[in-house]
Amino acid sequence: MKRRDFLKAAAITTASMAVSPEKADTASASPSVKSYRDIGRTGLKMSDISFGAGKLSAASMVLRAVDSGINYFDTAPDYGQSEKTLGEAMGRLKREKIIITSKFCNSMPYPGHLPLGTKKKDYVASVEASLSRMKTDYLDFVLVHAIGEMNKDLESEKKRLLDGEMLEAVAELKKAGKVRFLGTSSHGPNNMEDLLMTAVTSGRFDMIQPSFNFLKFPKLPEVMKEAHKRGVGVIAMKTLAGAKDMNKEHEGEEFSHAAFKWVLQYPEISGLIVTMKTAADIELYLKASGTKFSAADQRVLDRYARRYSSDYCRTGCGECQGYCPAGVEIATVLRYRMYFKDYGMEKRAMESYAALHNNAAPCSGCDQPVCTAKCPYGLPVKVMLSDAHESMSFIV
């Protein structure tokens, strides 16, 4: 489908709940988006499978995604060149046809999330810098990012979530037409469900973006139901549960489709974002758009769980947090290890690991690995942490 044909079609598709698969199949030989869903009460509809721009390095990828019907893009100031690359594509896009989400972050190696204590002017400056990099006038969503990542204390993290300086900045940015909606994201490991429930019930947030997949997060559906009731959108991330089958022919296809369909079977989910690095990723992932979860998909997920569950730290779990006498940030180290080993994001993983205060340096010499004993999934946590340190340290 040519771009101008797509843009014409998008005006129709974004005004309706779903595209008929028959119509989409005749419109393009390549897989395309078959379903658009409401993002809560915002009036916006997003492609069910959408673009995580954490590894975006070419403007052509954005144009390709838009041609395939993807209308939602998730980026951040600390995702390398992501915002700047989106900006390079912007002149060739109709801004009102796409939805852009960015984060309250500094532009520096991940994680650059603005901490509690940030002043209103700095929240405003963060958004203005994002707009400048992306060559656009407004963000559809700005997120308080990675709630529960660095701070184990529930009450003080709630303060970051509902910080008065941040809320005043959002009001000012909305008034100036620079931001439309407020959201928050979390991949744990600390208090993810409690923090997201606080966001939902506060009435301040239009969207939440949690980690959610078939291997973990049993309490999250409660938060999702409450969000749905209150008109708060729910956009899932980390849906591939470690993405360990992705390089195997056929299995990667079956697995990613099954994992996406599992998430999208929840009516409360507005859509999901997944990192798209190549045109082949777009083609592969969009084959699952608008399709239903089946018994065959469940078998694929069961097989994945049998093979990999003993090497997958459940993002957002955090049940071993706080037991390490050396204070190692266990779940965060293991998430960076996932980026390094499974997501092909070696540079970002190494930079983030280098910025971590309590890394896994003590683990290889630890003779009382209480972390391993505390993990309810039986993971060889000490071994995984030692491996993480060896893989991601610039100098070991």
The residue ranges that bind ligand SF4 (CB under 6 A) are 189, 313-314, 317-320, 324, 326, 328, 330-331, 334, 362-363, 366, 369-371, 375, 377, 379, 381-382, 385
Question: Which CB sits closer to ligand SF4, 241 or 371?
Answer: 371
Task: Classify burial at 394, counting beta carbons within 10 Å of its beta carbon; exposed 0-12, middle 13-18, buried 19 or more.
Answer: exposed
327 SS3 class: coil
**Pairwise CA distance, residues 189 & 354, whole Å:** 19
Q: What are phi and psi of 151, to 5 degrees?
A: -115, 120
Least separation in angstroms between CB 383 and ligand SF4: 9
Least separation in angstroms between CB 354 and ligand SF4: 18
* Cβ-contact 37, 127 below 8 angstroms: no
Closest CA to 206 of 185, 227, 230, 232: 232
**Pairwise CA distance, residues 178 & 128, whole Å:** 8
Closest CA to 350 of 128, 109, 158, 28: 109
Least separation in angstroms between CB 366 and ligand SF4: 3
**Pairwise CA distance, residues 172 & 137, whole Å:** 14
* Cβ-contact 208, 193 below 8 angstroms: no
Please give the full DSSP string across 142-183, using - where no structure is assigned.
Answer: EEE--TTSS---HHHHHHHHT-HHHHHHHHHHHHTTSEEEEE
Least separation in angstroms between CB 294 and ligand SF4: 28
DSSP conformational letter for 161: H
Question: Which CB sits closer to ligand SF4, 158 or 337?
Answer: 337
Least separation in angstroms between CB 234 and ligand SF4: 22
Question: Which CB sits closer to ligand SF4, 125 or 383?
Answer: 383
Question: Which CB sits closer to ligand SF4, 172 or 319?
Answer: 319
Q: Is the alpha carbon torsion for 128, 130, 136, 141 positive or negative?
A: negative
Question: Which CB sits closer to ligand SF4, 208 or 366?
Answer: 366
Question: Which CB sits closer to ligand SF4, 109 or 362?
Answer: 362
Question: Which CB sits closer to ligand SF4, 276 or 330?
Answer: 330
Least separation in angstroms between CB 377 and ligand SF4: 5
Least separation in angstroms between CB 113 and ligand SF4: 20
